Chain A
């Protein structure tokens, strides 16, 4: 396999990782606020903060990893996306900054504040919406190069049904993934009242998730036929995605195997996300950047792959340690430590 294929695969896997951990984080922030607003915070907020406190910084690093990695493996992305995304990227950054720091002020500071809580919840939905724009742009037609300047066609972007359907999909996915995770976490903590509440959230958001996915798919077929056809060739992946979704729903309905239900939801998104990604090949930005032409020098590609393997050797044991201490240590989850 050539290093640019390794590179894009690694990046896509990490983006998938970010999709999951960030969805859990963003959704949890929203639920924490929603529970407070609807006076149910005594039921779930303890649970949410026990999970989130140790991991929010790790979630952020996934994001940094992705954008540093993509610019590293494919420097042309810095030029095209960098030029085009100045405004949406800056807005996303401001939202991320508000969210991360306000989380710290709220949790490590001494006083609870409703304003922080609200901003924390609201940004949890706005950030995925603004990050989803990058995916829309990659479909082509929104970023235009004329002479020496690259610009973003705002009007087309904001009037495109595709871009709105992707935003909608991002929002409902966040709420759905997060709720299934919290259901699992609450069941581990043996916290009945919380379990009941978050399970109802998970069930509620399942149908909109599927509808939004279908809508986005239809609009994609109108916007970028090549991509759509490629995805149809990967029908078996899409089929698996739907099958895992059904199985997860079955577990949630019959109130058992919550752990497995969450894993199935992860697999549901895994197959859909990879069918989308593989169908996108060979373009990173249609039609300007392809994986082959946009890639970095071979020596750098090799160095990055080696650094990546070295990094994993360091990280995987550390992540296992975190999971052992905070996710699978029953006493910690239950709040006894």
Chain B
């Protein structure tokens, strides 16, 4: 008999849910008419949204065109071609820079392996998640759209609905380990400065010893 009672307990559960608070919000992506609710919740700190290509504090691009991100990408959504820097007027510090950089967001699974792979912290993921493009060519973000502007903020796509502060949380500072993925850097902030922000403050649980050597004396730079 207990079994039969269990069946009806299930019905009671679903009926009770009718009167409970909703867990979802009323989000309309900025297209709400007057008087309609349009709530966007704050995103979690480590959300994997769309990518940005960062620049150093002096305005140089961080990307060196090494294609490690393209190599590691499980979805094959990144296309990179490097080129030699003009010695007179370099795009990035060093020999090479990312000449072509494209990400196909119809393929990207936002696994963040490209961010892990990047040796210069050039590619990071922001919390911007709106991808409501209406054709396939719009789905491929080119370097012009990915690289941060002169104020260090990402480019706003026409279909993105930015709320306060969402454009600022763009950098890989939220990762637990360093750019090289080396466990010895776990809990230690090891970031190059960024255009518009400088060196980001450490996250909760991270030590603020910038670029300090790991305890066992391994090489840092």
Is the A/B pair a real complex? no
A interface with B by C-beta (< 8 Å): none
